[in-house]
Amino acid sequence: MMRPYLLFPLLLLLSHVTIATEIQGAGSSAAAPLYQKWADAYVKAGGPTITYQATGSSAGIKKIKENSLEFGASDAALSQADLKKSALIQFPSAISGVVPVINLPGIKTGELRLNADMLVAIFSGDVSNWNDPGIQALNPGLRLPNKAIEVIVRQDGSGTTYNFSDYLNKVSKSWQTRFGKNFTIAWNTKLTQVKGSSSIVTALKKTAYSISYIDYNYVVQDKLDSVQLQNRDGKFVSPSAEAFSAALSNSNWKTDANFEEMLTDKPGQKTWPITMGTFIIMQQHAKNAQQTTAALKFFTWAFMRGDRFVNNVDFVRLPDGLQARVFKEMTTVTDKNGQTLNWNLHTEINGKN
């Protein structure tokens, strides 16, 4: 939980809750389990209903830009220029990572080792067999089958894809030239394309000798087999909360609150190379002040009291210092006339609402 000096003012914010009938959000399918956990607990605590649609990050961004809901959710941060152009704010809600996952008979979770070069080769469609010499060289103790690699990727606009492709874009000039980084990629036509994180799980489980990429919480919850990845320091690491925290610690998030900085390919011997943040995006000037105030109070409650739910769905909570920076960003939201909303800290302290 947050430190005592942060708790008192935040508790004041919750003392005058404006009741809304429903708060609507949409976006990241990866973060959907987290937002659903928070929403269910918030309703039990007396808050309004939170309706969240796992439409994918790019769809969530589109909807919040259209001002058709209270918040959008994305696994990739918008640039400062984009935020300013569309009059939006954003803040991270938790930390996770993108994980290559396999369905490889005879190979247990964590046994297979891959590096950046092999990921690029496999997802480019250039390496097509599991006993390829390059894969075998990284795994001298494994008996890799002489079977075709069945590659499964996301077809829809996905923050998971954005982070995955951002990593490959950083480590490979070939990938940078051929595919680049984006929410959607012009995949090799030989690859199997599906929509949504849940579809990745289904396709992977029913397809022997397959490989895909997905967010860590799905790896744990759906008992998928992950690989070890070689990080920038040359160490082979497994995905974990510790490995994601190591990446965060080697970024500028804590010092500069530069949330648009990607957490991929960070230094550190324990760092997971495809770490990512997941973000909430809101209108800077609320169309419906009551609804937006209710949404802000929901996320304030989630940061204060929702840590155990973050852990339960295998995300990493934001450190206290980052939560304080997030709260400061949230206070900049106004009504459509530019007036401070009635949950503002100064207003609450002075007993006005």
Using CA atoms, how far apart are residues 309 and 296, in angstroms rounded to an integer? Answer: 18
What DSSP designation does 15 have?
A: G
Express each pLDDT in 242-268 by its tens digit.
Answer: 999 999 999 988 777 678 899 999 999
Task: Name the CATH code of domain 4-95+276-349 (choices 3.30.1300.10, 3.40.50.720, 3.40.190.10, 3.50.30.30).
Answer: 3.40.190.10
Q: Kindly indicate the confidence band of residue 6, based on its pLDDT and cuts at 50, 70 and 90.
A: very low
Q: Strands 113-114 and 236-237, how do they pair?
A: unpaired
Longest dimension (CA), the chain: 71
pLDDT number for residue 258: 73
Using CA atoms, how far apart are residues 257 and 264, in angstroms rounded to an integer? Answer: 16
Express each pLDDT in 53-95 by its tens digit.
Answer: 999 999 999 999 999 999 999 999 999 999 999 999 999 999 9
Task: Give me the residue label for tokens 């070939």.
Answer: 174
- The three-state secondary structure class of 320 is helix
Contacts of 43 (CB under 8 A, 6+ apart): 49, 50
Using CA atoms, how far apart are residues 279 and 74, in angstroms rounded to an integer? Answer: 5
Q: Kindly indicate the confidence band of residue 345, based on its pLDDT and cuts at 50, 70 and 90.
A: very low
Lowest mean pLDDT among 18-32, 73-87, 171-185: 18-32
The answer on pLDDT for 123 being more than 70 is yes
Q: Are 278 and 77 in contact (CB under 8 A)?
A: no
Using CA atoms, how far apart are residues 227 and 22, in angstroms rounded to an integer? Answer: 41
Domains 4-95+276-349 and 97-274 equal at CATH topology level: yes
Alpha-carbon Rg for the chain, nearest whole angstrom, is 21
Q: Is 256 exposed, middle or buried (0-12, 13-18, 19+ CB in 10 A)?
A: exposed
The answer on pLDDT for 120 being more than 80 is yes
Read off the amino acid at residue 238: S
Q: Where are the domains of the chain?
A: 4-95+276-349, 97-274
Residue 257 CB neighbour total at 10 angstroms: 17
Q: Are 294 and 18 in contact (CB under 8 A)?
A: yes
pLDDT number for residue 9: 40
Using CA atoms, how far apart are residues 353 and 337, in angstroms rounded to an integer? Answer: 17
Using CA atoms, how far apart are residues 257 and 83, in angstroms rounded to an integer? Answer: 15
Task: Name the CATH code of domain 97-274 (choices 3.40.50.300, 3.90.470.10, 3.90.1150.10, 3.40.190.10).
Answer: 3.40.190.10
Q: Kindly indicate the confidence band of residue 325, based on its pLDDT and cuts at 50, 70 and 90.
A: confident
Average pLDDT, the chain: 89
pLDDT number for residue 312: 86
The answer on pLDDT for 104 being more than 70 is yes
The pTM (predicted TM-score) of the whole model is 0.86
Q: Strands 88-103 and 210-215, how do they pair?
A: antiparallel
Taking each helix axis from N to C end, the angle separating 289-305 and 4-13, rounded to the nearest 10 degrees, works out to: 150
Residue 66 CB neighbour total at 10 angstroms: 10
The answer on pLDDT for 2 being more than 50 is no
Express each pLDDT in 196-216 by its tens digit.
Answer: 999 999 999 999 999 999 999
Beta bridge partners of 99: 214
User: Which uninterrupted H or E stretch holds 169?
Assistant: helix 159-171
Q: Are 275 and 247 in contact (CB under 8 A)?
A: yes
Q: Are 225 and 104 in contact (CB under 8 A)?
A: yes
Residues 140-144, mean pLDDT to the nearest whole number: 94
